[in-house]
Amino acid sequence: MAIAGLAAVPQQSHRPHGWRRWLFATNHKDIGSLYLWFAFCMFLVGGVLALCIRAELFRPGLQFFQPELFNQLTTLHGLIMVFGAIMPAFTGLANWMLPLMIGAPDMAFARMNNWSFWLLPPAMALLLLSFVVPGGAAAAGWTLYAPLSVQLGMGMDLTIFAIHILGISSIMGAINIVVTIINLRAPGMGMMKMPMFAWASLITAYLIIAVMPVLAGAVTMVLTDRHFGTHFFNAAGGGDPILYQHVFWFFGHPEVYIMALPAFGIVSQVIPTFARKPLFGYTSMVYATSSIGVLSFMVWAHHMFVTGMPATAQLFFMYATMLIAVPTGVKVFNWIATMWEGSMSFETPMLFAIGFILLFTIGGLSGVTLSVAAVDVQLHGSYYVVAHFHYVLVAGALFSLFSAVYYWFPKMTGKMYSERLGRLHFWWSLLWFNVTFFPMHFLGLAGMPRRIPDYALQFTQFNQIASVGAFMFGLGQLIFLVNILYSLRHGKTAAQQPWEGGNTLEWRLPTPAPYHSFSEAPQLDVAENGVVVAMQGGKHG
């Protein structure tokens, strides 16, 4: 079985075999693998939905999908990618790597860990099931704005329950990460010496704990408006439709950083390794990440510049949003300073990390453009926004995830991935990603609204280019799948230290990482960013 390969360490006993190993999993590596495979499957499902959207938009006119189904496709594409693919993938990586990087025997709450993963499949099943109930799936966009979401059929109820379940899962996963990092670090691994990936995961986990309940509240209010006679979002009953947007984006903006901060963490591990140099400005990285976390709570209404806020509110949220560019800029400069005067090599993880920096910077700069409220009046709700957040989430979050999987694949499996296929995957993705999403900037500027199944004729060319790009990009992800499946079976045996510059704790473990690692904590002498200077003791098994 493919999953088994990701954590196969035959010599160790006392673990269940067969399906019990996965259903009753309490080992952080098993659970991490479950998360990663699940996220990849959802990535493919969400990707197929995206291709349906791009197929419909290849030409003006309605060809394949009626508008109501088209709206369901865009809604579910967003929800599945955010809650089914990106968030679980980061949780999976944190599960797999955090204990290894900080010298912990496992995650703090092993059984809760099992529960937080196994809540995901039923939640996603509810979401997918909603396509076949009367009225179809939720069709209000992933933001589920009221009052539109109050109007929809029972697919919306399934979506609300799915979000509740996903929220419980994320919160439990986040609590596990916080407790593990705070309590289970090996002696010598001080907070200000932890790897950036641990810092990023910690801050992300706090954000999740803070905002997932807010989302649950928002959708519960929609639920009671739908069925129990409340009027939170109905002016006729004393409510306010805009209240929904305030509550949603109080969740929604930190959510953006929930999907971006772990990416920052990964890149902060990968770049130093392949530049063979310590991370530049570790302390300022920690502070920049923390301040991004704090600022992310103060900018939510920049998603609402055209709702008709008073000028003072527009100005406050505009300034606060622009301010986020400062710590984000610091991070980008730090990564480049890490590369500067390094001794770089360009294996696949490094390629994806560099691709991340480049394209994330474009997404960040278009974010600055959007933050200027007066310009946002033209760009809000247009394809420019679609381009912007795909630069941040695909070239940002997704590229960093690919970087991470290639980077840690040898440690996880004991096998090397195919470097040739890895590089092909990178260059292919880089090219077709830009072909898909760069033209969307032009479409938005020229006046094409998002979430429409059909468009005016002057938007045809760029839509066609984007559609071709999307199909090619989608195809390219099969290269990744083939690489992983092939390498699990036939990959070359990986060395304990496959990367010359890899000097954080996980590279001190045997390859593949033993099923039970650090059952006795090692005594560490650690430098910044988790670089191990010396290690004593630390038994496995």
Query: Three-state SS for 139?
Result: coil
Q: Is 243 in the site for other proteins (CB under 8 A)?
A: no
Residue 278 CA to residue 240 CA, distance in Å, equals 52
Provide the 8-state DSSP code for 533.
E
CB of 374 to other proteins, least distance (A): 3
Stretch that binds other proteins, among 145-153, 165-173, 213-221, 503-511 (CB under 8 A): 145-153
Q: Is 148 in the site for other proteins (CB under 8 A)?
A: yes
Q: Is 382 in the site for other proteins (CB under 8 A)?
A: yes
* 8 Å CB contact between 348 and 406: yes
Query: Three-state SS for 537?
Result: strand
Q: Which is nearer to other proteins, 501 or 512 (CB)?
A: 501
CB of 306 to other proteins, least distance (A): 5
The CA distances from residue 527 to 82, 198, 530, in Å, are: 35, 14, 6
- For residue 454, the tally of other CB atoms under 10 A from its CB is 14
28-56 and 120-129 helices cross at what angle (nearest 10)?
20
CB of 17 to other proteins, least distance (A): 44
Question: Which of 318, 393, 479, 532 touches other proteins by CB under 8 A?
Answer: 318
CB of 500 to other proteins, least distance (A): 8
Residues 437-466 that bind other proteins (CB under 8 A): 442, 445-447, 449-462
CA 266 to chain centre: 12
Q: Is 63 in the site for other proteins (CB under 8 A)?
A: yes
* 8 Å CB contact between 471 and 58: no
Q: Which two tokens stand for residue 242?
A: 């805009």
CB of 278 to other proteins, least distance (A): 4
CA 271 to chain centre: 19
Pair type for strands 532-537 and 522-526: antiparallel
Q: Which is nearer to other proteins, 284 or 290 (CB)?
A: 284
Q: Is 366 in the site for other proteins (CB under 8 A)?
A: yes
Q: Is 62 in the site for other proteins (CB under 8 A)?
A: yes
Query: Three-state SS for 405?
Result: helix
* 8 Å CB contact between 170 and 208: yes
Q: Which is nearer to other proteins, 93 or 354 (CB)?
A: 354
Q: Which is nearer to other proteins, 171 or 373 (CB)?
A: 373
Residues 75-134 that bind other proteins (CB under 8 A): 133-134
Q: Which is nearer to other proteins, 373 or 404 (CB)?
A: 373
Question: Which of 365, 431, 435, 535 touches other proteins by CB under 8 A?
Answer: 365
Q: Which is nearer to other proteins, 269 or 382 (CB)?
A: 382
Q: Is 246 in the site for other proteins (CB under 8 A)?
A: no
Residues 477-536 that bind other proteins (CB under 8 A): 528
Among residues 488, 337, 306, 311, the alpha carbon closest in space to that of 409 is found at 488
Tokens 């929604």 belong to 252
Tokens 């954080």 belong to 504
Question: Which of 10, 14, 19, 61 touches other proteins by CB under 8 A?
Answer: 61
Q: Is 229 in the site for other proteins (CB under 8 A)?
A: no
CB of 362 to other proteins, least distance (A): 6
Q: Which is nearer to other proteins, 421 or 465 (CB)?
A: 465
CB of 383 to other proteins, least distance (A): 11
Number of residues lying near other proteins (CB under 8 A): 102
Q: Which two tokens stand for residue 309?
A: 């806020």
Q: Is 213 in the site for other proteins (CB under 8 A)?
A: no
Residue 490 CA to residue 475 CA, distance in Å, equals 23
Residues 295-314 that bind other proteins (CB under 8 A): 306-308, 310-311, 314
Stretch that binds other proteins, among 23-31, 117-125, 334-342, 505-513 (CB under 8 A): 334-342
Q: Which is nearer to other proteins, 148 or 198 (CB)?
A: 148
The CA distances from residue 387 to 14, 290, 365, in Å, are: 49, 27, 12
Q: Is 400 in the site for other proteins (CB under 8 A)?
A: no
Annotated catalytic residues are 77, 106, 142, 169-170, 253, 255, 257, 268, 302-303, 328, 331, 450
Query: Three-state SS for 240?
Result: coil
Q: Is 332 in the site for other proteins (CB under 8 A)?
A: yes
- Strand residues in 54-146 grouped as ranges (E): none
Q: Is 179 in the site for other proteins (CB under 8 A)?
A: no
- For residue 187, the tally of other CB atoms under 10 A from its CB is 14
Our CA angle for 398, 403, 409, nearest 5°, is 120
